[in-house]
Structure 1
Amino acid sequence: MQIQQLAYFVAVARTRHFTQAAEDCGVSQPSLSKQIRVLENSLGTALFERERGDVRLTPAGEALLPHAQEILIEVDEGLRAVREVAGLQRGRVRVGATPSMWDGLMADALIAFREAYPGIELEVTEGGSRTLTRALGRGDLDLALVIVPLRSDDPDLVARPLLRERLVVASPASASTTASPASASSTASPVSGPGLGDGPLAVRDLENVPLVMFREGYDLRDTTMNACLDAGFEPTVAIEGGEMNAVLRFVEAGLGHAVVPSMVLASRPSLRATPIGEPELTRTIALAHRRTQALPLASRTFRDVLVDHLRGLAADALGVDVDLVD
């Protein structure tokens, strides 16, 4: 039994005329009649009584008709659903990103995608890179913006670098702007003590500067700790354990300074950024997904919109210091 045979059967049942049904279906009358006979043979019973031009359903035909109509409706709805997905009228994108990305570039990218494809459902997840890579590995996410190199042993994950961002020292806008040389006093001081100037500073200038530190497992915490240790000192931790928003609020409250991505300060007028120049601290943001799982069309389209969005943004327009990775 084929779908086309059921469509011919329903057409004849509706018109009660083989020639009219053939015209409605766009086929020749002999072809339609042949397919009806094939259907009857496969069922082992006649579906129509044909007498002197009068076409009537047999009891078997009467029994089959509602099921055939329902099957054709389901097929039509299925094809429509596929066309809608293929045309990006429906679908879902499950995307994750680090908190700083949601605060920075992702919101604008989501707005651009939503305006272009209002029928696509967006499911977002916020978390650290390790959390997001685990979610990708479980199949809970289609895409994730993470920090590379990936801290995952899963060979199924692949990451495409998109953005290289410089890290800066965040301080209250009202803090002292007197530059703190590397030979500054070794006594720990409050924020208003050893000031951080507007010009680039060396990592060693952070010695004895009270720092607000991210929680364990946070990429920025590891970057800050390793940079300080490489410069020959252990950082002075004023407070620790927060996520991005909490860390920035602690800095705004004057509890210390923090090493953060430059983009998160673009909308924080109460904070100022001091560049780090010796050595320059950066992080690379990549778009990760599973290698062996084909991305749905909606997710591929979101990926393309995101990449185009990032390429269309100049660093000076963002008010941050970033480079796009080719």
Structure 2
Amino acid sequence: MAIDEEITLKKLEVFLAFMRLGSLARASEELGLSAVSVHRALHTLEEGLRCPLFKREGRNLVALPTAYAFAKHAQRALAECEEGVRKVRELAGFDAGRLKIGSLYSLTLRCIPQLLIALKLRKPELQVDLTLGSNETLLRNLSDGQLDAIVIGVQSAVDERELVSVPLFDDEVQLAAPLGSPYGGMDRIDLAAMRDEKFITLADGFVTADSFQHAFRQAGFVPETVMRVGDIFSLINLVSGGIGYSLLPGRVAEFSARIQLIPLETRYVSHQRITLLLPRNRERDPGLLALAAECRMYGQRSPLQ
């Protein structure tokens, strides 16, 4: 008997998630789909089977005996397919049990540890390698296949034909000053009033360096930059030591109690959108699916601006 075109692996995945969780809302959250999409997948799966799987009780879907019987076969079908994918990936030189993730140094205090802990709880067997670097380096490594996914700051649209993006949170760029600076009591900083000050910035290739340059273009002058450094920890230490000011995202505030972050006046404000990026052609990879799901949940806890 020919299998109806409405019966797809994706719908089997949705069906099994619903059977396991018993809720459209919980299944949609785990899969990163809308409740409407989950309901539509279940309905069209029934049409493809030409057999009812659920009955309605009020606003709830209740599984029929046919659903429990079909779930056993659906689970075996997905398991066989996943095993086939794993063997093919191993043959091609990819390790399905290991995920290589890249990220920014500035995300290592809260964001990345929380994501990795949640990912290990979801998939305990998954091994993770973490690489830290600049936006430029991480994007290049993702493109070259050296990394499976990256969590970075973006300030413009990504190519959705090549990459899947999952936004986590927005971060505002602010003035970083040492404690006791003359700007410490201000509610907002006018960069135009800082023409005579010295600044430190990250080297080119970091998203924060791009934010720095953008802000001073808005201010209409090129600041006196006394030093460029290759990591955000050195930059924070130099600012705290009074070597110069800088512009940094709000997420670094907890890295040091010896600096303070002061908001910029509205015309200079820019945001970095912290985003998971992964290759479009690997979006169904089980490890990347789990990582994307955790990033979506993180984003729900940290609403985008």
Q: Does TM-score exceed 0.5, indicating one fold?
A: yes
Q: Residue 175 of structure 2 is aligned with which of 164, 169, 177?
A: 169
Whether 1:142 aligns to 2:153 is: no
Aligned partners of 1:271 and 1:260: how far apart in 2? 11
Tell me which residue corresponds to 1:324: 304
For 1:241-296, what per-residue CA distance to the aligned partner results, in whole angstroms no more than 9, with x for missing partners?
A: 33111111111222111111101112422221111123222112221111123442
Tell me the CA shift for residue 153 of structure 1.
Answer: 8.2
Q: Tell me if the contact between 2:100 and 2:147 (Cα under 8 Å) persists in the aligned partners.
A: yes
Aligned mates of 2:208, 2:118 — CA distance in 1? 28
- Who is 1:225 aligned against? 213
Kindly indicate whether residue 290 of structure 2 is the aligned counterpart of residue 301 of structure 1. yes
Instruction: State whether structure 2 residue 245 is matched by structure 1 residue 257.
Output: yes
Cα deviation 1:201-223 (Å, max 9, x = unaligned) = 12323322221111122222222
CA–CA separation in structure 2 for the residues paired with 1:93 and 1:275:
37
Task: Look up the equivalent residue of 1:141 and give its one-letter code.
Answer: L
> Counterpart in 1 of 2:51?
none
Q: Secondary structure at the match of 2:264?
A: strand
Residues 142 and 295 in structure 1, CA contact (< 8 A), matched pair in contact too: no
Give how far 1:167 is off.
0.8
Structure 1 runs (4+) deviating above 4 angstroms are 149-155
Equivalent-residue separation in structure 2 for 1:104 and 1:205 (angstroms): 34
* Closer, same or farther: CA 163–137 of 1 in aligned 2, 3 Å: same
In structure 1, how many angstroms separate the alpha carbons of the residues matched to 2:190 and 2:154? 24
1:52 aligned residue:
none
Shift of 1:165: 0.9
Amino acid at match of 2:111: L
SS at match of 1:108: helix
Match of 2:300 in 1: 311
Per-residue deviation at 1:93?
2.0
Does the aligned pair in 2 maintain the 1:148–1:285 contact within 8 Å? yes
CA distance in 1, matches of 2:109, 2:222: 29
Comparing 246-255 and 223-232, the one that deviates more? 223-232
Query: In percent, how many aligned pairs have the same letter?
Result: 21
The answer to whether the 8 A contact 1:162-1:287 is kept is yes
- 1:24-103 aligned at under 5 Å gives the runs 82=83, 91-103=97-109
Note the C-alpha offset of 1:196: 4.3
Tell me what 1:288 maps to.
Answer: 277
CA deviation string 1:139-177 (max 9, x = no partner)? 22221112324698896234333321101111222x23x
Secondary structure class of the residue paired with 2:196: coil
SS at 2:113 equivalent: helix
In the aligned structure 1, how far is the partner of 2:99 from the partner of 2:241? 37
Aligned counterparts of 1:108 and 1:296: Cα–Cα separation in 2: 21
Distance change in 2, residues 1:276/1:218 (3 Å): same
Q: How do 1:12-27 and structure 2 match up within 5 A?
A: none
SS at match of 1:276: coil
Which of 98, 108, 113 aligns to 1:107? It is 113
Q: How many residues align?
A: 215
2:185 aligns to what SS in structure 1? coil
AA aligned to 2:296 is V
For residues 88-120 of structure 1, what are the alpha-carbon distances to aligned partners after superposition, in whole Å with 9 as ceiling and x for unaligned?
xx8222211112122341122212322443321
- Residues 164 and 283 in structure 2, CA contact (< 8 A), matched pair in contact too: no
Residue-by-residue CA offset, 1:223-252 (whole Å, 9 max, x unaligned): 212321331211121322331111111112
Contact 1:210–1:257 (Cα < 8 Å) also in 2: yes
Report if aligned partners of 1:135, 1:141 keep a CA contact under 8 Å in 2: yes
Match for 1:270: what amino acid? Answer: R
User: What's 2:166 paired with?
Assistant: 160
Q: What secondary structure is seen at the aligned counterpart in 2 of 1:292? A: helix
Q: CA RMSD in A?
A: 2.8
Query: C-alpha separation between the residues in 1 aligned to 2:166 and 2:277?
Result: 6
Q: Which runs of 5+ in 1 are unaligned?
A: 1-77, 179-194, 314-322
Distance 2:119 2:166 in 1: 20
Q: Which residue of 2 aligns with 1:129?
A: 135
How has the CA–CA distance of structure 1 residues 294 and 274 changed in structure 2, closer, same or farther, with 3 Å as cutoff? closer
Q: Distance in 2 between matches of 1:117 and 1:172?
A: 42
Equivalent residue, structure 2, for 1:56: none
Q: Compare CA radii of gyration and give the structure with the larger one.
A: 1
